[in-house]
């Protein structure tokens, strides 16, 4: 070991002070590295979510063990990246603001986990499995433990193929909800996700609705009401429909003008995060299929026309038709067409065939598979 004997470093000196000052400046600079903006993080989130949609277009496919094994090496790192981006977005969103109360911070953390963790568990991410297992077995925080248990049940629900097994998972969910309180919002929010899981029978879905409707939480009860609205919407399937309204420039419009086209109806709003998360997917489909007879109508549920117009004008790729109802917006109500079909949560997507017949009220879940099929169907024969 080399020993420095010079007295210059054996006591405070100008050189030593300079070195210390330089190190302190470097440390301060590292601490003051600016966060990325919401827009920057949001762009990465759009890309990552689009990649995930492409990789897993339908979560029902995860009930096949071979599919899970095939997807896991790509999907798990992507989900881990998404989880990190959601945390970064939260930091960017709260930077410079007064700190939220402890309960809001806690709820936000749980909700961010809910966006990625059930899929991580379903695909066998061992770090997520160990973390959630430890949390579920903890006696220190009953709400966090119940949240973890619901996460485990969601993963089991995603990966169980038979009806009997799914009903057993729902029975376990009922047991967790019976123990929870109305104030357990994180448990409630997690439980509501059971109705967003595709590929289950009507028997199982009705059982889930009954469990959620009887639960103490508002989110679960709202999810049950949305499902009941969906049943009302399904009564229109197989029947001719027309969606009509007024464009932001005041021009009347009706889907009747698009006879012979396959039409996607997107019930959405610019304030709706999940609606905006779907836009990259919709843009890609519009670009691919528009020349083949595919049209999109956005039914805006914004509360001001400026919000819609400014958002659409800011994105040249949002070139499809929008309708907006100023009277409803002025009363803080959703568009009349949205309310007509009993829609209480957005986004919702309808798909209308070339004959003007409503073919699906759940097109959001099956768009990539159903759209090409409808476009391949023959156009109606023009009457003389």
pLDDT, tens digit, for every residue of 149-167? 999 999 999 999 999 999 9
Q: For residue 376, is pLDDT > 70?
A: yes
Backbone angles phi, psi at 362, to 5 degrees: -120, 40
Determine the length of the chain.
384
d(CA 110, CA 112): 5
Q: For residue 9, is pLDDT > 50?
A: no
Q: Would you place residue 344 in the very low, low, confident or very high pLDDT band (cuts 50, 70, 90)? A: confident
pLDDT, tens digit, for every residue of 27-39? 444 344 457 888 8
Cβ–Cβ under 8 Å, residues 296 and 320? yes
Looking at residue 5, its pLDDT comes to: 35
Q: For residue 328, is pLDDT > 70?
A: yes
Chain centre to alpha carbon of residue 45: 11
d(CA 297, CA 264): 6
Preceding amide of 347 cis, omega within 30? yes
Looking at residue 383, its pLDDT comes to: 58
Global pTM value: 0.60
Cα torsion angle, 116, 121, 124, 130, sign: positive
Q: Would you place residue 18 in the very low, low, confident or very high pLDDT band (cuts 50, 70, 90)? A: very low
Average pLDDT, integer, range 117-135: 96
d(CA 62, CA 155): 10
Enclosing H/E stretch for 152: helix 142-159
Q: 116: closest CA among 76, 176, 170?
A: 76
pLDDT, tens digit, for every residue of 44-67? 998 999 999 899 988 999 999 999
DSSP bridge partners of 244: 254
Mean confidence (pLDDT) of the chain: 85
Q: 283: closest CA among 83, 92, 53?
A: 53
pLDDT, tens digit, for every residue of 220-265? 777 777 777 777 788 899 999 999 999 999 999 999 999 999 999 9
Q: Would you place residue 13 in the very low, low, confident or very high pLDDT band (cuts 50, 70, 90)? A: very low
- Name the residue with tokens 């799914």: 166
Can you read off the two tokens belonging to residue 145? 């433990």
Looking at residue 318, its pLDDT comes to: 93
More confident residue, 92 or 323: 323
Cβ–Cβ under 8 Å, residues 215 and 258? no
- List the helix and strand counts (H, then E) for the chain: 17, 7
d(CA 297, CA 46): 22
Q: For residue 17, is pLDDT > 70?
A: no
DSSP 19-64: HHHHHHHHHHHHHTPPPPPHHHHHHHHHHHHHHHHHH-S-GGGGGS
Average pLDDT, integer, range 330-348: 92
Can you read off the two tokens belonging to residue 232? 């009302």
Backbone angles phi, psi at 264, to 5 degrees: -95, 125
* N-term to C-term CA, the chain: 100
Cβ–Cβ under 8 Å, residues 55 and 92? no
């Amino acid at each position: 070991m080399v020993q420095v004997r010079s007295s210059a470093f054996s006591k405070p000196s100008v050189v030593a002070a300079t070195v210390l000052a330089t190190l302190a400046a470097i440390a301060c600079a590292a601490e003051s590295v600016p966060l990325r903006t919401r827009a920057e993080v949001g762009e990465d989130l759009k890309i990552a979510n689009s990649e995930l949609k492409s990789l897993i277009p339908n979560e029902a496919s995860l009930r096949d063990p071979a599919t899970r094994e095939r997807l896991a090496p790509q999907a798990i790192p992507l989900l881990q990246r998404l989880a990190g981006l959601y945390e970064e977005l939260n930091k960017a969103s709260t930077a410079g603001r007064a700190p939220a109360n402890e309960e809001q911070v806690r709820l936000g953390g749980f909700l961010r986990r809910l966006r990625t963790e059930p899929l991580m568990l379903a695909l066998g991410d061992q770090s997520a499995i160990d973390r959630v297992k430890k949390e579920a077995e903890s006696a220190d925080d009953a709400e966090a433990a119940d949240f973890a248990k619901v996460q485990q049940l969601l993963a089991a629900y995603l990966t169980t193929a038979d009806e009997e097994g799914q009903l057993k998972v729902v029975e376990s969910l009922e047991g967790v909800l019976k123990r929870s309180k109305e104030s357990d919002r994180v448990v409630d929010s997690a439980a509501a996700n059971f109705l967003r899981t595709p590929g289950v029978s009507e028997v199982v879905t009705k059982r889930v609705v009954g469990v959620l409707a009887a639960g103490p939480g508002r989110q679960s009860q709202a999810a049950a009401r949305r499902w009941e609205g969906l049943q009302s919407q399904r009564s229109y399937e197989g029947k001719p429909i027309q969606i009509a309204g007024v464009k932001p420039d005041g021009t009347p419009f009706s889907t009747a003008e698009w006879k012979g086209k396959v039409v996607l109806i997107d019930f959405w709003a610019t304030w709706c995060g999940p609606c905006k998360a779907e836009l990259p997917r919709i843009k890609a489909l519009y670009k691919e299929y528009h020349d083949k007879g595919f049209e999109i109508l956005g039914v805006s549920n914004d509360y001001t026309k400026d919000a819609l117009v400014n958002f659409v004008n800011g994105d040249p790729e949002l070139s499809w038709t929008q309708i907006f109802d100023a009277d409803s917006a002025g009363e803080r109500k959703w568009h009349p067409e949205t309310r007509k079909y009993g829609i209480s949560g957005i986004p919702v997507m309808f798909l209308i065939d070339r004959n003007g017949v409503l073919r699906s009220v759940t097109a959001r879940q099956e768009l990539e598979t159903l759209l090409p099929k409808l476009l391949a169907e023959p156009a109606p024969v023009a009457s003389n």
